[in-house]
Amino acid sequence: TLMQYREQDTLSKEALSSSRFQYKERPLQDLLVLGRGDFGQHLSINLGFGIGVTLGIHAAGGISGAHLNAAITLTHCILGNLPWRKLPAYLIGQFLGSFMAAATVFALYYGMVVSFITGVAVVTGPTATASIFSTYPAPYVSLVGGFFTEFTATVMLLLGILIIHDEKNNAALKGTQALLTGILVLGIGLGMGLNTGYAINPSRDLPPRVFTAVAGWGMDVFTAGHNWWWVPLTAPTLGSLAGVFIHKLFIDFHNQPVLECENEKGQPVVESSTL
């Protein structure tokens, strides 16, 4: 049926866009870890992440809205902007795309990874390589501190996305939303990425973690960092909801309605992760 076709199209587009943006970020993380800083720095990873997000939005923005992020999709459903029946297609697409991206990067740099780990894949310590694929807290970060970091970073992400697409306020010009969203992610990474690697996205963290568990790193990927694995799932989801609430309370409720004829910018609502 037409409905089934659309849901399959949503799944494939979310998978494509999710894998597309991670293809840009994961290799740079790989080079930073394996090269011990010789092939890139903190800025390199964040530039790759920002560019990847921009390209991912362009890849699927007109079809699925290019959520790329399970927390954003779930927030859409909770607010009634997206039917709950569409949630599985979005989540499966995002998770498949993220898993494929992790597997592709692993295959691409397999020789380099094997040479670096000298036969033993470890999650923590000076020869740890699991952080190429998923996020882990820095040694000095507590579980509570890491949760707060992820929560706050996702609040900033949602506030930025909503401001970029707020047609009742000073929304971005048509066609620039994807680029500005990528710049937003770049800024969050540079300012808030050191503590936890800023997952800000369950779809970016869990599938690669599952991949590393079956690819040789074992169950340590779930127990490391005081059982860190659940934080990138829950903190971004709560942060996404909080970001929407803050935007509505301090900005949206004070906006003046804009007549269609007055909206000279004409941004399409579905072009990105609008809420």
What pLDDT, on a 0 to 100 scale, did the predictor assign at position 263?
47
Sign of CA pseudo-dihedral 119, 136, 41, 157: positive
What pLDDT, on a 0 to 100 scale, did the predictor assign at position 115?
77
Is residue 199 in some structural domain? Answer: yes
Mean pLDDT score of the chain, rounded to an integer?
82
Whole-number Å distance between alpha carbons of 161 and 7: 24
Whole-number Å distance between alpha carbons of 116 and 219: 20
Residue 16: Cβ within 10 Å count: 20
What pLDDT, on a 0 to 100 scale, did the predictor assign at position 1?
44
CATH of the domain at 226: 1.20.1080.10
**Structural domain span for residue 251:** 2-255
As for how many domains the chain has, the answer is 1
Q: Residue 198's closest CA among 242, 154, 139?
A: 154
Residue found by looking up tokens 């494939």 in the block: 12
Statement: residue 101 has pLDDT above 70? yes
Is residue 261 in some structural domain? Answer: no
Is residue 265 in some structural domain? Answer: no
116: left (phi over 0), alpha (psi -120 to 50) or beta: alpha
State both tokens at 230.
């659940």
Residue 192: Cβ within 10 Å count: 18
- What values do phi and psi take at 266, rounded to 5? 60, 45
Is residue 274 in some structural domain? Answer: no
Statement: residue 8 has pLDDT above 80? no
What pLDDT, on a 0 to 100 scale, did the predictor assign at position 52?
85
Is residue 96 in some structural domain? Answer: yes
Q: 195 with 146: CB under 8 angstroms?
A: yes
Statement: residue 228 has pLDDT above 60? yes
Residue found by looking up tokens 């939303």 in the block: 177
Is residue 273 in some structural domain? Answer: no
Is residue 268 in some structural domain? Answer: no
